[in-house]
Amino acid sequence: MRQRWILVVPVAVLVTALLAGVATWTQSGKLERDLTARAQAALFQAGLPTGDVRFDGRDATLSGFPPGQALRALEVVQSVDGVRAAQVDGDVTPMAPSTVTSPPSPAPTTSPPPPPTTSTTAPPPTDKAGVQAEIDRMLTEVPIAFEPDTAKLTPEGEQAARSVAIALAKAPAGFRYRVTGHVARGPGSESAALKLSRDRARAVARILTTNGLAAKRVTYRGLGDTRPATGGEEDRRVEITVV
Is residue 153 a contact partner of residue 216, using CB atoms and an 8 Å limit?
no
DSSP string, 69-129: HHHHHHHHHHTSTT--EEEETTT--PPPPP-PPPPPPPPP--PPPPPP----PPPPP-SHH
- CA torsion sign for 44, 47, 49, 53 is negative
Quick one: pLDDT at residue 132?
93
DSSP string, 50-71: SSEEEEETTEEEEES--HHHHH
Q: Which CATH class is domain 128-242?
A: alpha beta
Quick one: pLDDT at residue 187?
76
As a whole number of angstroms, the distance between CA 48 and CA 104 comes to: 37
Quick one: pLDDT at residue 23?
47
Among candidates 214, 240, 222, 239, which has minimal Cα distance to 96?
A: 214
Quick one: pLDDT at residue 44?
85
Give the pLDDT confidence of 119-178 residue by residue, as tens digits. Answer: 455 677 889 999 999 999 999 999 998 998 899 999 999 999 999 999 998 899 889 999
Among candidates 70, 135, 158, 202, which has minimal Cα distance to 194?
A: 202
**Residues of the chain predicted below pLDDT 70:** 1-28, 89-122, 231-233
- CA torsion sign for 8, 11, 13, 19 is negative
Quick one: pLDDT at residue 76?
87
Quick one: pLDDT at residue 190?
87
Quick one: pLDDT at residue 100?
47
From the number of C-beta atoms within 10 Å of its C-beta (0-12, 13-18, 19+), residue 181 rates as: buried
Instruction: Provide the residue ranges of all domains of the chain, joining segments of one domain with +.
Output: 20-88, 128-242
